[in-house]
Amino acid sequence: MSLLSIKNIQKSFDGVEVLKGISFDVNKGDVVSILGPSGSGKTTLLRCINFLENADSGQMVFDKAEYDLKEISKKQILSIQKKTGFVFQNYNLFRNKNVLDNVTLGLTSARKVPRDAADRKAMDMLDRVGMADYAKQYPSQLSGGQQQRVAIARALATDPEIIYFDEPTSALDPQLTGEVLTVMRQLASDGMTMLVVTHEMSFARDVSNRVIFMDKGVVAESGTPEEFFNNPKEERTREFLRMEENAR
């Protein structure tokens, strides 16, 4: 059953068309990896469907409700955002707040959850990502991988129906990448719906149930990981996979 359906999303910056009519569906429980070269519009797409950027046009169906992205209201946006989580490339933690406060802030301020209940929820989520022992530490005391796991706990704390990940490991070295991917693999096995912009080919191949390849602002190809990696239809996809293989 489709949880998220987007149709013909378009976005330009200073007259340059970055998204040229993107359409796809995400079903409940899906793990969808979005691949593509830098500049293909992947991050812009994620930001548009979670309203960190305003799309120029397009439609969305989320949780059975339909929206026109050009006409959507602030109230509707807040309603959607309360059901989604977003994990940024560079963590976006508050440097002046400890780990626990970073996770509880969205609960206590935006959702008016009582502090005791927010603390319990946050500790449960920190435990889930292996960071409960660091609750009183500050971001500056943590590695990049630990900060990203805190960011994932923050996203989980609001019980989202889907989590968007924007290149969650691109700022990390290989060892720290592994600890973040382990958490994401566990979330996938637990049934979390995830839309992941990534360069991690192993994650896309082994954990996703669908791969979307973007190039120059369009969906150039999509399919199962087996189809995408073993039998790509488009020459541009084959070229991208060759370049990724050579870069290893």
- Which SS3 state, helix, strand or coil, does residue 158 take? coil
CA-to-CA distance for 130 and 99, rounded, in angstroms?
12
Contacts of 61 (CB under 8 A, 6+ apart): 2, 4, 5, 67
Nearest to 56 by CA among 222, 194, 217: 217
Pairing of strands 210-215, 31-35: parallel
- In tens, the pLDDT along 40-66 reads 999 999 999 999 999 999 999 999 999
Please state the pTM of the whole predicted model. Answer: 0.96
- In tens, the pLDDT along 81-131 reads 999 999 999 999 999 999 999 999 999 988 899 999 999 999 999 999 999
Query: What topology does CATH give the domain 27-50+82-245?
Result: Rossmann fold (3.40.50)
CA-to-CA distance for 205 and 211, rounded, in angstroms?
8
Domain boundaries, the chain: 27-50+82-245
Pairing of strands 57-62, 218-223: unpaired
Contacts of 39 (CB under 8 A, 6+ apart): none
CA-to-CA distance for 149 and 117, rounded, in angstroms?
21
